[in-house]
Structure 1
Amino acid sequence: MPVRVSRRALLGGGAALATPLVAGVSGCAGDESAQPRPKADVGVLLAAIADEERLIALYEKVAAAHQDLPAHFPAALNHHREHLAALRRHYVPGTGVTPTPVPTTAPPEPPADLGAARTALRQAEKSAAAARVADSGRVAPGVAQLMASIGACEAGHAARLGFA
């Protein structure tokens, strides 16, 4: 003969069994004072975002100060805007503890001479490329691929600025 279980008994028993599972999954079973820690990727992403913002600002200042720019200049600026968008897509605000903010410094005014302005851009690109290579060793593999790709692009910009 089949055993009959009332709905009330089933729901009550199910809730009793589920309570320890929910408590364990939600972290309630451990130390309540423990705060979630952000992954290392968060700080690296914020630093890369700040670098891209500075590069974009520097390119825009050079563009405003000099009308006789090389043909590849707008493409490089657009690449940096694309890099910034990609980095921002990987950063999820509100995940974990708020990391220490990266100090943002405005780029200096570009030199009046176009050659000197290009040299300043080239140096900024080389520094950014080196930073992204270093970043690629400090983050998860998926983010490392993004950092390496951005760094390679920035190295290419630096090379073009040296020849054009």
Structure 2
Amino acid sequence: MRPRHLSRRAVLAGGAVALTACSGRSPAPEAPPPDSPETVLLKSLVAEKERTVALYAALIGELGGKGAERLAPFMDRHRAHLDELRRHLPAAALASSSASPPPSGSPSQGPSGAPSTSPSPGAERGPSLSRLRELERRAAAQRPRQLATASPGLAQLIASIGACEAVHAAALPRSL
């Protein structure tokens, strides 16, 4: 019987395994693959909707009574958008997005739909009808740019959300 010869590559690979086993350290875990452009967009939209719902909730809390009655349907529609957007997120992305709190302030996104690093004007202001109206107007205006990285089904959802936001901007009461 002829002795079996191992290739140099096999010997080196076996040595690396043996060294790792002897040192008690395991090889460094691989970084998770980066999110797809659509997942990045969805995470951005979810964070934006969370901020929008929080702003509505804050104003409703301040106003109470009739003001709350008039604004609650607007907030409910944003909650429905949020629920639907979350349904489109992959399970792994949903877990990672809930692990970190959304950034504070009003939504500000770049042309790709990814969050912008510059704060939007007046981000420090408290809740008001004019701030909600401006937020709705800006959100509706950025939806067409966000369609470029979306699948057809998601693009339809984003377009519908944008239409709703445009109606909100026009339908929000001027005063309460």
Tell me which interval the TM-score lies in, with the shorter structure as reference length. 0.5 to 0.7
Mark the CA change 1:139 to 1:56 in structure 2 (over 3 Å): closer, same or farther: same
What's 1:154 paired with?
A: 165
1:110 counterpart (97, 101, 126): 126
1:76 counterpart (71, 74, 77): 74
What's 2:88 paired with?
A: 90
**Alpha-carbon deviation of 1:132?**
2.3
What's 2:46 paired with?
A: 49
Answering whether residue 137 of structure 2 is matched by residue 126 of structure 1, we say yes
Hey, what's the Cα distance between the residues in 1 that align with 2:55 and 2:38?
25
Deviation readout 1:11-56 (Å, 9 max, x if unpaired): xxxxxxxxxxxxxxxxxxxxxx8x7553211000000001100000
- Which amino acid counterpart does residue 61 of structure 1 have in structure 2? A
- Which amino acid counterpart does residue 104 of structure 2 have in structure 1? T
- Which amino acid counterpart does residue 126 of structure 2 have in structure 1? P
For this pair of structures, how many residues does the alignment match? 124
SS at match of 2:92: coil
- Which amino acid counterpart does residue 167 of structure 2 have in structure 1? G
- Which amino acid counterpart does residue 135 of structure 1 have in structure 2? Q
Unaligned runs of 5+ in 2: 1-29, 107-123
TM-score of the superposed pair, with normalisation by structure 2: 0.60
SS at match of 2:126: coil
State the structure with bigger RCO (CA 8 A, min sep 6), 1 or 2: 1
Contact 1:61 1:109 in 2 (8 A): no
What's 1:39 paired with?
A: 36
CA RMSD of aligned residues (A): 2.8
Hey, what's the Cα distance between the residues in 2 that align with 1:102 and 1:74?
24
**Alpha-carbon deviation of 1:163?**
5.4
